[in-house]
Structure 1
């Protein structure tokens, strides 16, 4: 097992980079990133959002090169950088979801001065919520006890198969051994749109929602419940409605809503199925463009 981990680390480190640049207030910023393809690196939005050109990237045993910011998304804390074509083998995204208790490794450059660092731990929690900018939260993130420090942000969290299960994003400052990573399924949803469009456009049905346990629900799981309506976009959606499906796609968690309400839903006639007063009810909505607080 030791030799297998050493081999995995050697391969992954080669595809992990340190990102540096000057911020708008003339401080030096740094973080980590990883190679998704020969020309694109994935990192966190908060690593690059305050940096000004030029942004620099350095991979192991290579000279520092200039990177271009392709796009970023505050809501998922993801960003994409472009570099000249690189011949290092990119990392692969895991297609299957992480499992509670599985071994994982966090890569990056903690504190910006310890490049090519790695820590070992397990997936210690799933479907967590992480506070983000504008009072919103990043939902369905992975919790891990891998040692993550400032500077690790943007680096890959990988499983023992060497595939990326998440992007190291944050820690709890009031605790020890509680770190968070944006999961691979969110990366696979957001990054292609950032590459194609430079940003994310989302639709909104004009309601606020929360996870709630429904009295009398034998399954005993939390459901996505409407807690308030904010605009005419909501149609006949009401407080207390349990969201079942939007546009024919099932809704079980927050990330389902993010996945469904993409730019193609803006201005469309959309059927929303809800559970209300003991029965399924169809509500017709016309989603509007979600305005970012950023």
Structure 2
């Protein structure tokens, strides 16, 4: 049996559908007219008290999202920006910068940040090396003459001073609490020309080591993909609370977005020493060594895969420095230091970092391997720096 709509009912429902369709079209047209920029649309909106200039639903929604996503970074820069300074020295020279052409900029340029309201500034040692005085330009545009107050003998940190009062100060955070993946901003005098340039990235890794040109090996570095350019050296790496967690120091020249910053806790320890002694003094052993890795242990057939192998570096750089605490403690070339007190020497906690935990005149116990035998040696640390 073939079923179908009775003719009378079919006619009824077709009429209902036609009326509904026509009504939906008219409603859509009415809404479009109401929202349109025509005179009629404006008059209709005005009649019910809606401001035509403020009605842009899509733009309002997008702008709200953009501001919410960026507000933390904006507030961070408002907080730290006033404490960031540009540091220049030497005569101007012309340099070819890709994208900018030939520009005139100081021969030496870098960045710093104010850490006391009376003008003490933290920066990199390599920024101020070879010069006695500098021109310091504050974020406000005011310029000052600065001079070096202290440098770290084993790290790329320096303190310079300007004569001023009531300056804005950077808030120093805690680099031990830094997490891989967290957002950070870098602020600096990019290319020695673009003052207080802001870049954004994340913490890519912690406890990195690197050997920048002209420096010894640096340890405990924070790696970031926030762009760090020439001129950014000495500038702050900042978390989204506006706290400095690192000092931008070096970049990988053969890669993109691989930059390194000195952990701010290292800087804070130097600041404590400077405040106490008027200079940065550190404990001193007097050895030259190679940090042992698995690859080095295999290539040299060493009995351990971690430690510090005392080695001679060229004819004039013996493994044990004459007259040093290490010589007085009878350390010898080829000794392997495996522990300082109860702390093991490793890639992530190299010998220099362990020694930095102590003060001059402290006595430590070294566990060493010599000729396949383990032994302990007591050593009284000396002093270096000034």
The interval holding the TM-score normalised by the smaller chain is: 0.7 to 0.9
Which runs of 4 or more aligned residues in structure 1 lie more than 6 Å from their structure 2 counterparts after TM superposition? 275-280
- Greater radius of gyration (CA): 2
Q: Where do residues 1-294 of structure 1 align in structure 2 (5 Å cutoff)?
A: 1-22=69-90, 28-39=107-118, 40-53=120-133, 55-73=134-152, 75-83=154-162, 84-94=164-174, 96-132=176-212, 136-195=216-275, 196-206=277-287, 208-213=289-294, 223-228=306-311, 229-231=319-321, 232-236=327-331, 239=334, 241-246=336-341, 253-254=349-350, 256-260=353-357, 262-265=359-362, 269-274=363-368, 281-288=375-382
Q: CA RMSD in A?
A: 3.2
Question: Could you list the runs of 5+ residues in structure 2 that have no partner in the other structure?
Answer: 1-68, 94-105, 299-303, 312-318, 322-326
* Alpha-carbon contact 1:122-1:145 (below 8 Å) kept: yes
* Alpha-carbon contact 2:365-2:379 (below 8 Å) kept: yes
CA distance in 2: counterparts of 1:245 and 1:287, whole angstroms: 12
Label 1:61 to 1:144 Cα distance change in 2 as closer, same or farther (>3 A).
Answer: same
How big is the shift at 1:283?
1.3
* Alpha-carbon contact 2:282-2:384 (below 8 Å) kept: yes
How big is the shift at 1:13?
0.9
Q: Deviations over 1:90-141 (max 9, x none)?
A: 3223253422221111011101111121101111122211214667211111
CA distance in 2: counterparts of 1:276 and 1:29, whole angstroms: 47
More strand by share: 1
Q: Mean alpha-carbon deviation: is it higher for 230-239 or for 168-177?
A: 230-239
* Alpha-carbon contact 1:250-1:256 (below 8 Å) kept: no
CA distance in 1: counterparts of 2:267 and 2:291, whole angstroms: 23
SS of 1:175 mapped into structure 2: coil
SS of 1:50 mapped into structure 2: coil
How big is the shift at 1:19?
1.0
Q: Deviations over 1:255-291 (max 9, x none)?
A: 53241354334xxx53223478999742123445569
Q: Mean alpha-carbon deviation: is it higher for 271-280 or for 163-172?
A: 271-280
CA distance in 2: counterparts of 1:60 and 1:143, whole angstroms: 26
Higher relative contact order (CA 8 A, sep 6+): 1
More helix by share: 2
Question: Could you list the runs of 5+ residues in structure 1 that have no partner in the other structure?
Answer: 216-220
CA distance in 1: counterparts of 2:371 and 2:158, whole angstroms: 42
2:24 is aligned to none
SS of 1:6 mapped into structure 2: helix
How many matched pairs?
280
TM-score (norm 1): 0.81
CA distance in 1: counterparts of 2:308 and 2:192, whole angstroms: 42
* Alpha-carbon contact 2:320-2:333 (below 8 Å) kept: no
